[in-house]
Structure 1
């Protein structure tokens, strides 16, 4: 031979396994040299150590002691990725049980080593089809393993072994699961490959199968009993296959990601029902977050809008010392309002008092609230009249018995007719209806603001309520910019008049801020509750991915044997987890927006905004990334030998 450097050389190689406290030597001082292009058969009974030797030769396992040189390089110096590159570029495995990926077609299975070599997809397709044509499987390319006979599956595994060149083909009992005729066909194929310059290492217990090889090595109890030594390959057509370039080629990042995505989709669709159940947790979580935040934001906005509609330039003065309830307290009187009215910057100071009365008209009774206030109430409170007019300052000064009805009260007493010009008995006092207020709706506290009758302050105080002290004083300030200065002026004036701080002053801006803060807290609470379901969904993803790793352990071993690096396995399983979560996130967003739109049509106050959608989808994506990491890491760090032996 022109070059006397062995392709494979083992020097005093040991492989020891630990069983409890006992060390078991399976291989004991193996010395072996295999030259490029040889067709070697390693023969031994079951338990002789021949399969362990094959795992070491194929870099699926590491020796306990001794040296393994491949093309003159010590394999012990290779890290995990370098070993993966060596398996991918130099070795092709043919297993007794074929070890084809059940979810892929014959073409897909043949292409696996080229995927991890970074070969472009079109080039992979062409080479895979050429190999399958060469092996007589032209009409079986799109068939899955379950649709192929045993001999056809073994031919697919041989094509896979040749995909990246197949410098060294390791065949472990390749005819063990085949009938005699199919076995002869496979062995004839091996002889043809050997004649083409491939180095073949055949592991078998059958002497008849071993007889096809040019060199037969007998092993028993982990020791080589007989070995005729390297021989010249028989009539190689073009010499032995050239030594492989062992540079690690990670391939294009986008290409790797695209392949991982394609394989992930295939894996997820192969078990569609379980995938749907896994999606469900993420979908519910994302939809809940979007819906809950939309409802919370809607409730906040509704309350803020209702308060703001009263005017942001208002001060509310109530009786009672600060931080105490002022209802029923008699510390504010009309004269206080008149004094405040005279302050600079004050547009109006409206006295208000109220109570509950019974309205009677046309044989109908209705219990409602009466509001006694001034003629400026409608303008200051930004509450216009829809019919007729509001009472005037002259009506107020003359103790006129006139009233304005809210929409609810008007419909209750005068259903289906205009109340204008009609008289209504308020308790025992007759009032003329001069106007009807526009619809107002519910207050922030949920009270129907339209269920009211509004009368002049003096008329209400003297004729209906029998008191003159104020329940509330509303102060309209000329400019929003002066509201705090005016608030201080009102405070100082009332303190001077009363001699003690027996009143409370709040401006609408501070009320809005307080309500907004409260609603933000409620929205956060709702969002947190919804996020819990998203967390539960994430745990479900991790659980299913761990189950998937367990179920697909042999698949992982096959991928490692065909050259997948740690990063490739990690990327694939992480991509599956992220894909599930992202798909669940998209469906959750669509359902959440749909439910929110339905609630809006049903009258619920909701606010559509991009942030909850981005937040929910981002959380779903991160859920897949975080909860998919542990299963992906577990898969990536499996021992190839243990993975291949998994059932």
Structure 2
């Protein structure tokens, strides 16, 4: 060190306070040095500069011949990790970690394999008399035992240079003597030991004593005479300029990620009540997205199924009532043939309708009668539930056969008799019932599609209505996407044939598309509303993580002192935020599925979407990344010294 200075304040109106005033000092490998001074003399500040926890305001600090001022944060972290070991007065152990896990921490950031670091940590703790307390947390250890854990941690990566700041200050005399004996052993083994103390009795244990007062060195006993080198000779110090780093290998990164997950889970468990409240927002958000989209999709499917009963690929052609322009108002079978020849038309079925009185025994029932061809089922997608439909022979022979709707069956066969094969009267004309149409439910207005009787078109024209003019023509198309063009072609083709534009086409397909689009919009709105709760949950995660950073500032400082880089701290807190949201996402998916299952039991139309489930879960994870980044970055940017001194 040459003319090393350190000042605090001097900005934002605060007065500048110079703590170190031109320290010039040379320390050598293998020395046991005590820096002694009263409180406020600057000795702890000097230790922070020596251990690269802080940067000087002026002067030069050369480590192994290289100016520390030129190193970035990661290079300083590597130096702390591989060259220094810290023994603090307040122990600075992480409360949620066991003794062994605290000792292993520097090796995690150095990229040491789990097996090697576990073995070394066990060996160090056993050597220091803590072999039976490996799994104990700091609050389960005495002060002397905690300080021994701190010493073991300092030696984990080799501890070539041990910086001990008032290592006996918080201990009783017996524990203090044990700690000093350990420091004597380390010095004898070839470690460079720099002891910071205000106790001159403790300082006398060192081979060189430097006194500091008011930021200046006032005395230095000088280097001790050279002694025989200890055995075995320690490995050389790492060069700060080396670019390769064992902690950057893929294996080391995976190991560190595993440790970050383990530590994050333990923190979540220790603060499980707060974690549960944080998870609640994510759980509600994910479950809401899944349930609302499932209900929306189910409702949409139910509407589409109801509509499809009336034919999603259908359109109806009807004549405009007679007008002063002459001929018009009635469709003909020739018009049906013209429609049938158009390229996109799959089926064109004439239909003649009018009300009839259906009678069986002494029961009269007014219903809608209809004459149709054998294309009825194909054109209207309306099969028979029981029995059969009439065929071409029935059509050609004007057979008196009928297929009845469910409402007609209920009215005429209330006694439970099977209608198939029975005879009924339609306007006093006897008809044999061949089958019963499948139920369709409500139609337009207050009418029911099941309130009808179907007979062959030829029979209806000759025996019921006395006319063979179709009331309307049902048209089924091949390509639904071309339905609008086909409707226009029908109008043009009939206008050319009838010499008057007197027909209109009711395009069922376009109506269905419009309703489907409306339903999709509603489903999207439900999803967006649910996504808002997910956003609120993410804000909750950010608030809790910011509070966590504030609560664990000292832990961050400990991790930095043991060699964690800024990206290591960033990764640690990002992992915690993501773990919270992943846990909440999994719980939200499970709860969403359970709620959906309950709705299904209650006959609510629900269709789960794998895309919605995966999307909601991924959004939860993304929420953790986005809202956890700012607190994690804040944690990574903390100054090691300020973090260690926080309450």
For the aligned pair, the TM-score class normalised by the smaller chain equals 0.7 to 0.9
What is the aligned partner in structure 2 of residue 196 from structure 1? 189
Measure how far apart 1:414 and its partner are. 4.6
Distance 1:305 1:187, change over 3 A: same
What is the aligned partner in structure 1 of residue 504 from structure 2? 503
What is the aligned partner in structure 1 of residue 324 from structure 2? none
Measure how far apart 1:419 and its partner are. 6.4
Distance 1:221 1:359, change over 3 A: farther
What is the aligned partner in structure 2 of residue 79 from structure 1? 72
Measure how far apart 1:84 and its partner are. 0.1
1:122 and 2:115 aligned: yes
1:92 and 2:88 aligned: no
SS in 2 for 1:454: strand
What is the aligned partner in structure 1 of residue 550 from structure 2? 550
What is the aligned partner in structure 2 of residue 523 from structure 1? 523
Once residues 358 and 529 of structure 1 are traced to their aligned partners in structure 2, the CA distance between those partners, rounded to angstroms, is: 53
Given candidates 248, 252, 266, the residue that maps to 2:249 is 252
Distance 1:170 1:351, change over 3 A: same
User: For each residue in 1:214-273, what CA deviation from the matched residue of structure 2 results, as whole angstroms up to 9, or x when unmatched?
Assistant: 222222222222222333466652387454113443343322322222222222222222
Tell me, yes or no, if the aligned pair for 1:100 and 1:157 is still in contact at 8 Å: yes
What is the aligned partner in structure 1 of residue 335 from structure 2? 339
- Structure 1 vs Structure 2 CA RMSD: 4.1
Measure how far apart 1:178 and its partner are. 1.0
What is the aligned partner in structure 2 of residue 4 from structure 1? none
Once residues 230 and 478 of structure 2 are traced to their aligned partners in structure 1, the CA distance between those partners, rounded to angstroms, is: 103
Distance 1:386 1:105, change over 3 A: same
User: For each residue in 1:435-460, what CA deviation from the matched residue of structure 2 results, as whole angstroms up to 9, or x when unmatched?
Assistant: 66444445698989565233569999
What is the aligned partner in structure 1 of residue 276 from structure 2? 276
What is the aligned partner in structure 1 of residue 3 from structure 2? 11
1:227 and 2:220 aligned: yes
Tell me, yes or no, if the aligned pair for 2:336 and 2:473 is still in contact at 8 Å: no
Bigger drift between 516-525 and 338-347 goes to 338-347
Unaligned 5+ runs, structure 1: 1-8, 322-330
What are the within-5 Å matches in structure 2 for residues 135-534 of structure 1?
135-232=128-225, 237-238=230-231, 241-245=234-238, 246=240, 247=242, 248-253=245-250, 254-308=254-308, 310=310, 314-317=314-317, 333-335=329-331, 339-345=335-341, 347-351=347-351, 370=368, 372=370, 374-376=372-374, 377-387=376-386, 405-407=404-406, 410-411=409-410, 414-415=413-414, 417-418=416-417, 420=419, 434=433, 437-442=436-441, 451-454=450-453, 473-476=473-476, 487-495=487-495, 497=498, 499-500=500-501, 503-506=504-507, 508=509, 510-534=510-534
Distance 1:139 1:108, change over 3 A: same
Measure how far apart 1:203 and its partner are. 1.6
Once residues 372 and 273 of structure 1 are traced to their aligned partners in structure 2, the CA distance between those partners, rounded to angstroms, is: 70
Once residues 294 and 519 of structure 2 are traced to their aligned partners in structure 1, the CA distance between those partners, rounded to angstroms, is: 12
1:583 and 2:580 aligned: no
Tell me, yes or no, if the aligned pair for 2:360 and 2:425 is still in contact at 8 Å: yes
Once residues 451 and 266 of structure 2 are traced to their aligned partners in structure 1, the CA distance between those partners, rounded to angstroms, is: 67
SS in 2 for 1:434: strand
Measure how far apart 1:183 and its partner are. 1.0
User: For each residue in 1:132-191, what CA deviation from the matched residue of structure 2 results, as whole angstroms up to 9, or x when unmatched?
Assistant: 011010111111111111110010000000101111111111112111111111112111
1:45 and 2:46 aligned: no
Distance 1:313 1:155, change over 3 A: closer
Measure how far apart 1:47 and its partner are. 1.8
SS in 2 for 1:138: coil
SS in 1 for 2:541: helix
Once residues 522 and 505 of structure 1 are traced to their aligned partners in structure 2, the CA distance between those partners, rounded to angstroms, is: 26
Tell me, yes or no, if the aligned pair for 2:5 and 2:18 is still in contact at 8 Å: no
Tell me, yes or no, if the aligned pair for 1:38 and 1:194 is still in contact at 8 Å: yes
SS in 2 for 1:537: helix
Tell me, yes or no, if the aligned pair for 2:98 and 2:134 is still in contact at 8 Å: yes
Once residues 354 and 10 of structure 2 are traced to their aligned partners in structure 1, the CA distance between those partners, rounded to angstroms, is: 91
Distance 1:409 1:343, change over 3 A: closer
Bigger drift between 410-419 and 80-89 goes to 410-419
Once residues 21 and 190 of structure 1 are traced to their aligned partners in structure 2, the CA distance between those partners, rounded to angstroms, is: 40
SS in 2 for 1:250: helix
Once residues 628 and 6 of structure 2 are traced to their aligned partners in structure 1, the CA distance between those partners, rounded to angstroms, is: 38
Tell me, yes or no, if the aligned pair for 1:360 and 1:413 is still in contact at 8 Å: yes
Tell me, yes or no, if the aligned pair for 2:483 and 2:507 is still in contact at 8 Å: no
How many residues align? The count is: 626
Once residues 526 and 367 of structure 2 are traced to their aligned partners in structure 1, the CA distance between those partners, rounded to angstroms, is: 35
Measure how far apart 1:616 and its partner are. 2.1
What are the within-5 Å matches in structure 2 for residues 630-641 of structure 1?
630-641=630-641
Once residues 395 and 423 of structure 2 are traced to their aligned partners in structure 1, the CA distance between those partners, rounded to angstroms, is: 18
Tell me, yes or no, if the aligned pair for 1:218 and 1:227 is still in contact at 8 Å: yes
Measure how far apart 1:27 and its partner are. 1.3
Bigger drift between 184-193 and 307-316 goes to 307-316
